[in-house]
Copies of this chain bind each other. A is one copy, B any other.
């Protein structure tokens, strides 16, 4: 009935032929509003009306730019994926990883994600929460995969002889540890955060040492 299904039968957007500048701004507003609401409410409890209200628009206008609630989250996840990728790239491109100590390497990986999480409170709502429809989990997966690949690569560089399966498992565990600690960090008062962060890094460092001595 509308302009949803276009010539190709695949998942096409309700995109007008020519988006106005006002529309582009609205999209940014909506995504920012969604991030704010998601950060405190979680996905399921976030209502589309609440996002619209937070963005200062009507519920109907929301659907001028997004086909449904999932699409908002997916778009936000894509934005986050790009931001995190850029942050990581910036932390790595200047240095040869082989020259770093294990502790420095951990800092290089952890600090950007940490900063990103603290700067983007909506991020963890989209990744550390299990209350999302399967389609959304799939949308968030590329971020996880990229991170897992990056960490596995670092381990492979440091432990060339080890089996890929072993290092993959180790990398996954290390990421899970970080994710598990993240809520504690964001929930803590800012002055208490460094202690927790130090402790997490100690855990990861100790594990990497154990991996080396194995």
Residues on A lying within 8 angstroms of B by beta carbon are 42, 44-45, 128-131, 169-170, 172-173, 176-177, 179-181, 183-184, 195-196, 199-200, 202-203, 205-207, 209-210
A176 CB contact (under 8 Å) in B44, B180, B207, B209: B180
Which of A42, A170, A179, A180 has most chain B Cβ within 10 Å? A180
Least CB distance, A82 to chain B, in whole angstroms? 26
In the complex where A202-B210, A206-B209, A207-B207 touch, is A176 in contact with B181 (Cβ < 8 A)? yes
Contact B184 A203 (CB under 8 A): no
Besides A44-B131, A130-B131, A169-B199, 17 other CB < 8 A contacts?
A42-B130, A45-B131, A130-B183, A131-B131, A173-B180, A173-B181, A173-B196, A173-B203, A176-B181, A177-B177, A177-B180, A202-B207, A202-B210, A203-B206, A203-B210, A206-B207, A207-B207
Please tell me how many copies of the chain the complex holds: 2
Bound-state CA distance A99–B131 (Å) is: 44
- The answer to whether A184 and B195 touch across the interface, beta carbons within 8 angstroms, is no
- Known contacts: A42-B131, A131-B131, A207-B206. The answer to whether A176 contacts B184 by CB under 8 A is yes
